[in-house]
Structure 1
Amino acid sequence: MDLKTLKTFQMIVKYGSFVRAAEEMNYVQSTVTMQIQKLESDLGVQLIERGKKLQLTEAGRLFHEQSLQIIKNMEQLQSNLSDLQLGEAGNIRIGVTEPTASHRLPRIVARFMSEFPNIRISVEFANTPTISERLLKGELDFALCSAPDLGSELYFEPLFKKSS
């Protein structure tokens, strides 16, 4: 059973017709019929009583109810994965030292979140050696801190310099 077959079943129920469902999905009617026959065979139950008027069996009503949620969840998952791939959703783990955490970070995070509301940000406050260690372990994505010790595998880019 696949998502296309579930959607086909939902269209048949929505329109009360194999022909109408086929038209809506740009399928030939025989494709819709074969999908439903295979679905019923895979499930081992009849879902639709065929006749003058299409009616769902008790198994068909149960399948219809529960497959609605499955389709909704799958479509949401596809959307979420697309957002993640486009960089419009996900998680960012930031390590930060004081006073940057108190003075600079709130404005930066607020602006970022207004532009990317589906990205969750978690912030860890620590000293530079602790943050450097967590970065090396892959527990943080990036950090705002002072320069790590010489010889570190980390890339450091100064964002600002102290005024003398």
Structure 2
Amino acid sequence: MDLKELTTFQTILQEGNFSKAAAKLNYAQSTITNQVQRLEKELGIKLFKRGWDSELTAAGRIFAGEIDKLIQHWNHVAEQAKALQKEEIGTLSIGGLESLSEQVLPNSLRRFREYKPNVSCHFVIGNTVTLSRALLQNQLDFAICGEPSDPSSFRFEALYNERISFIAVNNHPLVGRTEIPFEELLGYPIIAGGTTCLYYSRLSKQFSRYTETPFLYTVSQISAIAGFVQQIPSIGAVLDSTPLPPNVVRIDIELKDSTIPVGLLQSRNDEYISSSKKLLMQYVQEELELNQSRN
């Protein structure tokens, strides 16, 4: 069964007989007859009664009632296939850190939609561990995050540096001082991101250099840490990009190796980059550059 056979059957119905359908389609009448015969053979039913007039059989009437839908569906599928070949439809799945969800990713999507309005985008916000795991499981096309602890399965292109910073309420004893030695933090409860957060290993390494162990609370969502700091006399460990409420400020703590590279993470096995994926990656990188220049 092909579209020509379906169109021929539809035209016979519209014109009333074989000869008029042949004239409209610019076919010989024998061609019309052959196409109807092939269609009947493929369907395993007779569409017209004997004599090859235009009187439909009972089965033919049922098929005739669906012919318009069949042709519309056929054309829709063909158009979708052509669009997919041109990469004008489809879905992209993008992973990003929480700090990118306010401006960078929304702005990238806004620009992307202007050129690829029929490509759907699915954004997953998470930390480096969860996003890199999703990449390995082929659940993401790419991610903007830190470099995984085991980078062997990935391609990582650093785009900017995040920095670890510390926060407290504005009446905390450490606020207003400069170049505070790191060990002074150890006398206060510290609220930090969970073990899978971008900077946790850096902090753990720093803590290991001292005999005194801080009392540590963990919060999986870094942006929520400031809220805890507001209610609990403590020090919060966040990133420079973390927005703060009015009564919470950053404090000047001496911390070696406080920078964390963030960049474009892709699976090493992903060799094909579609034009849609390439365009969205370009916009994300450009928005990151704009965001860094504003900060």
TM-score normalized by structure 1? 0.83
Query: Relative contact order (alpha carbons < 8 A, sep ≥ 6): 1 or 2 greater?
Result: 2
Is the contact made by 2:18 and 2:53 (CA closer than 8 Å) also made in structure 1? Answer: no
Q: Which stretch of the first structure deviates more once superposed, 98-107 or 143-152?
A: 143-152
The structure with the largest helix share of the pair is 1
Instruction: Measure, in 1, the Cα distance between the counterparts of 2:40 and 2:150.
Output: 67
Q: Secondary structure at the match of 2:109?
A: helix
Please tell me the root mean square deviation across aligned C-alpha atoms, in Å.
2.6
Instruction: Measure, in 2, the Cα distance between the counterparts of 1:46 and 1:103.
Output: 62
How far apart are residue 43 of structure 1 and its match? 4.1
The structure with the largest strand share of the pair is 2
Structure-2 residue corresponding to 1:117: 117
Structure-2 residue corresponding to 1:18: 18
Is the contact made by 2:94 and 2:141 (CA closer than 8 Å) also made in structure 1? Answer: yes
Q: Secondary structure at the match of 2:101?
A: helix
Q: Does 1:107 align with 2:92?
A: no
The correspondence of residues 21-60 of structure 1 with structure 2, limited to 5 A, is 21-49=21-49, 54-60=54-60
Structure exhibiting the larger radius of gyration computed from Cα positions:
2
Instruction: Measure, in 2, the Cα distance between the counterparts of 1:20 and 1:149.
Output: 73
Structure-2 residue corresponding to 1:128: 128
Is the contact made by 2:93 and 2:140 (CA closer than 8 Å) also made in structure 1? Answer: yes
Instruction: Measure, in 1, the Cα distance between the counterparts of 2:125 and 2:52.
Output: 69
CA offset digits 1:71-129 (Å, max 9, x no partner): 21121111111111101000101111121122211111122123212111111111012
Q: Secondary structure at the match of 1:48?
A: coil
CA offset digits 1:23-53 (Å, max 9, x no partner): 4434322111012123334445432347797
The change in CA–CA distance for 1:146 and 1:42 in structure 2 (over 3 A counts) is closer
Instruction: Measure, in 1, the Cα distance between the counterparts of 2:52 and 2:42.
Output: 25
Q: Which amino acid aligns with 2:64?
A: H
Q: Which runs of 5+ in 1 are unaligned?
A: none
Q: Which stretch of the first structure deviates more once superposed, 152-161 or 96-105?
A: 152-161
Instruction: Measure, in 2, the Cα distance between the counterparts of 1:42 and 1:138.
Output: 40
TM-score normalized by structure 2? 0.49
Q: Which amino acid aligns with 1:71?
A: I
Q: Secondary structure at the match of 1:143?
A: strand
